[in-house]
C-alpha cells in the first residue's frame, strides 16, 4: 500500500491520532473513533501490515501501539516537494 493511501483514510488517521495517547485495545479505539469492531479491525490490520502500528496480547485483549512516526513534508515552489516518511519511533 502506498503511503498516500494509508494517510488517505480518515479512519486510519483517527486511529493513529488516538494511539498518540498511548497503547489501546480494540474496544477503546472503537469507542474513541466511533466505529464498529469489524471496521476498526480492518483498518488496524492495514496499519499493522505496513508496520505503522504493532500489537501485543495481554490476556484476552489485543493492544495496539504506534511503531512509527508519520512525517509529511510539503514545500511550495521552487522546491515543490511532497514527501511522506514513516521512520521507526526510535529513529530521530
> What confidence category does residue 56 fall into, taking pLDDT thresholds of 50, 70 and 90?
very high
Helix (H, G, I), strand (E, B) or coil at 48: helix
- From CA 7, how far away is CA 86, in angstroms rounded? 11
Average pLDDT estimate for 67-84: 80
Domains of the chain listed by start with CATH number: 3-67 (1.10.10.10)
Q: Is residue 30's pLDDT more than 50?
A: yes
Alpha-carbon distance of 89 to 92, in angstroms, equals: 8
Q: Are 36 and 30 in contact (CB under 8 A)?
A: yes
pTM listed for this prediction: 0.79
Q: Model confidence at 44, in pLDDT bands (50, 70, 90)? A: very high
Residues 6+ apart with CB under 8 A from 44: 15, 26, 29, 53, 55, 64
Residue 11 · residue 33 · CB < 8 Å? yes
- What is the residue-averaged pLDDT of the chain? 87
Question: Between 77 and 39, whose confidence is greater?
Answer: 39
Amino acid at each position: 500500500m502506498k503511503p498516500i493511501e494509508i494517510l488517505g483514510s480518515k479512519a486510519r488517521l483517527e486511529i493513529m491520532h488516538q494511539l498518540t495517547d498511548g497503547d489501546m485495545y480494540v474496544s477503546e479505539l472503537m469507542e474513541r473513533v466511533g466505529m464498529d469492531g469489524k471496521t476498526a479491525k480492518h483498518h488496524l490490520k492495514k496499519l499493522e501490515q505496513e508496520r505503522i502500528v504493532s500489537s501485543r496480547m495481554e490476556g484476552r485483549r489485543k493492544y495496539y501501539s504506534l511503531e512509527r512516526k508519520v512525517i509529511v513534508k510539503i514545500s511550495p515552489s521552487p522546491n515543490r516537494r511532497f514527501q511522506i516518511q514513516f521512520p521507526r519511533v526510535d529513529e530521530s
